[in-house]
Amino acid sequence: MKDKKNNEGYVKFVDLYSKYGVLLILVIVFLICSFSSPAFLQWSNILSTLNQAAITMVLTCGMTMLLISGHADLSAGSIVALTSIVCALTMKMTGSAVLAIGVSILAGVICGLLNGMGVCVLKISFFIITLATTMILRGMAYILTDGAPIYGMGKIMSLGQGSLLGIPNLIWIAAGVIIVTFIILSKTVYGRYLYAIGGNPEAAVASGINVKKDIILAFIIMGMISSVSGIMLAGRTNGGYPSAAEGYEFDAIIAAVLGGTSFNGGVGGVIGSIFGAIIIALINNGMNLVGISAYYQDIVKGVIIVAAVFIDLKTRSLVMKQ
């Protein structure tokens, strides 16, 4: 009898964990951070942590959509760098913030379109295509700037560094992107199609879904979101740097996977991914406050990610067995 009871308790835990696991980890990380450093719990510290994570969060939104559709964009970091430079150059040439933002978003859309066409028209694996565009776009970023940073963003700098109602603008922008992504994924027909395509592309085709169009659109959205990140980055750093945003795509993928989005497609959601992004940001911040060196930080992060995803896998397979 005792054994059975234990078993039931365990099953309940598994069930809860599969639903609220990320939240649980978030709370634990938050508690550990608050106990280890008094500076952590200060409002200003939390705001600045979120502010630093805002760009990753935005990127995570697009990456989550792509992962759900069974794809990923490894060129996201390069698109961020390229669009931040396009933004800086346009600003420098025209002085118009609106034009700079518009041209950057257009550049992002084109990058996304190219990735999407590569996957759907050339029928090359997303992994290869986006790996190739990573290099191509990064190269373009260096060519456009001649390898040197461009400074001076004017109004866009105030956008990136200012705040509204006491909360930094970047957090507002991230919140906006998160809400839009949430609505797309959970309330629209397109969102449903993305889940179906990621879950079983053959079944999606046989159900009359225009799979190619929807995947290209997902890459375009990713490009657009990357350009928003690029503009945010240009604003925050008051300039365009060709070497910027390296590895951002991995941060986004890791946040999404930590948050329960499957790398195999068909499963996940943007809320979990954002929790994942916040967890990573808190861990970074906590370690900074305690004074752990940056080299050790990477190791700690890597270990935590493996542990979290491993537990997630285990619980998920148990839930499946039921």
Footprint on this chain of other proteins (rule: CB under 8 A) = 4, 7-8, 11, 187-190, 192-193, 195-196, 199-200, 202-210, 262, 266-267, 320-322
Dist CA 183 CA 288 (whole Å): 35
The answer to whether 68 and 77 have CB atoms below 8 angstroms apart is: no
Dist CA 93 CA 152 (whole Å): 11
H or E element, residue 168: strand 167-168
Choose between 125 and 188: whose C-beta lies nearer to other proteins. Answer: 188
Least distance from C-beta 246 to other proteins, angstroms? 33
Strand-strand pairing, 239-240 and 163-164 = unpaired
Choose between 44 and 322: whose C-beta lies nearer to other proteins. Answer: 322
Q: What is the DSSP letter of 104?
A: H
Dist CA 291 CA 179 (whole Å): 35
Choose between 195 and 241: whose C-beta lies nearer to other proteins. Answer: 195
Choose between 165 and 189: whose C-beta lies nearer to other proteins. Answer: 189
Least distance from C-beta 315 to other proteins, angstroms? 14
Choose between 204 and 244: whose C-beta lies nearer to other proteins. Answer: 204
Structure tokens at 201: 């592309």
**Helix axis angle, 76-94 relative to 43-68, nearest 10°?**
110
Least distance from C-beta 234 to other proteins, angstroms? 32
Choose between 84 and 262: whose C-beta lies nearer to other proteins. Answer: 262
Choose between 187 and 302: whose C-beta lies nearer to other proteins. Answer: 187
The answer to whether 78 and 250 have CB atoms below 8 angstroms apart is: no
The answer to whether 74 and 134 have CB atoms below 8 angstroms apart is: yes
Q: What is the DSSP string of 137-167?
A: HHHHHHHHHTTS-EE--THHHHHHH-EETTE
Least distance from C-beta 61 to other proteins, angstroms? 18
Least distance from C-beta 6 to other proteins, angstroms? 12
H or E element, residue 239: strand 239-240
Upper half-sphere CA count for residue 86 (Cβ side, 13 Å): 29
Q: Which residue has the tokens 């896998």?
A: 313
Choose between 143 and 313: whose C-beta lies nearer to other proteins. Answer: 313
Least distance from C-beta 290 to other proteins, angstroms? 40
Dist CA 57 CA 43 (whole Å): 20
How long is the chain?
A: 322
Q: Which residue has the tokens 């280890």?
A: 36
Least distance from C-beta 93 to other proteins, angstroms? 37
Least distance from C-beta 11 to other proteins, angstroms? 5
Dist CA 163 CA 310 (whole Å): 39
Choose between 198 and 242: whose C-beta lies nearer to other proteins. Answer: 198
Least distance from C-beta 272 to other proteins, angstroms? 15
